[in-house]
């Protein structure tokens, strides 16, 4: 168990450090698919006191787990799909967000939903906002991102097991 904890910590530390998020200026950050909160905890550790982290998780058991295990007034856990985040932001009276981090498995999502998520994410970002996607072995996603974002950087984090491909898409 200790070895598994080490790799989980190593994974999120490497990923968070590569994201290059300006946490001091961030007001709203979204996370798609937080699961049990490995990345969520790391984001909250760096997030400023006045910011909000809004997590979209379709699995109700994971939502309950997050709400029970992470007691932080900056965290908002929503039991819904990433594709519906725009409706939820309207309910929260949030017009634009600074960053969206996503670890959801895009290779398992059909083309229409994948494009919808990417398009709605871009529309939710403020100018200069970033959509950050971390995946293992998901090279095919780039063609979808190219359709919506003009400024995309691609990083490969080999320190993670398995190595992680990271896309950083900036809204111009």
Name the architecture of domain 2-170: 3-Layer(aba) Sandwich (3.40)
Structure confidence by residue, pLDDT tens digits, 101-126: 998 989 889 999 999 999 999 999 99
What's the pLDDT at 9? 47
What's the pLDDT at 11? 52
Structure confidence by residue, pLDDT tens digits, 123-145: 999 999 999 998 876 778 899 99
What are the residues facing 75 on neighbouring strands? 53
Count of alpha carbons within 13 Å of 67, Cβ hemisphere only?
A: 12
DSSP label at residue 125:
E
Count of alpha carbons within 13 Å of 77, Cβ hemisphere only?
A: 26
How confident is the prediction for the chain on average, in pLDDT?
88
Structure confidence by residue, pLDDT tens digits, 1-35: 344 443 444 455 555 555 679 999 999 999 999 99
Stated as kind and residue range, the H or E segment containing 154 is strand 151-157
Q: Map tokens 């698919």 to a residue.
A: 33
């Amino acid at each position: 168990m200790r070895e598994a904890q080490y790799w989980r910590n190593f994974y999120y530390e490497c990923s968070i450090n590569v994201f290059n998020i300006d946490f001091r200026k961030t007001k709203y950050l979204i996370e798609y698919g937080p699961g049990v909160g490995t990345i969520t905890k790391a984001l909250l550790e760096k997030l400023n006191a006045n910011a909000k982290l809004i997590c979209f998780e379709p699995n109700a058991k994971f939502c309950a787990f997050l709400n029970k295990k992470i007691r932080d007034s900056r965290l908002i856990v929503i039991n819904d799909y990433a594709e519906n985040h725009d409706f939820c932001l309207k309910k929260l009276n949030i017009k634009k967000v600074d960053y969206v981090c996503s670890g959801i498995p895009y290779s398992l999502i059909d083309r229409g939903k994948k494009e919808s998520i990417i398009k709605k994410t871009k529309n939710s970002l403020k100018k200069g906002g970033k959509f950050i996607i971390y995946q293992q072995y998901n090279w095919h996603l780039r063609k979808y991102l190219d359709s919506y974002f003009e400024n995309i950087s691609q990083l490969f984090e080999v320190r993670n097991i398995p190595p992680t491909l990271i896309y950083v898409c900036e809204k111009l």
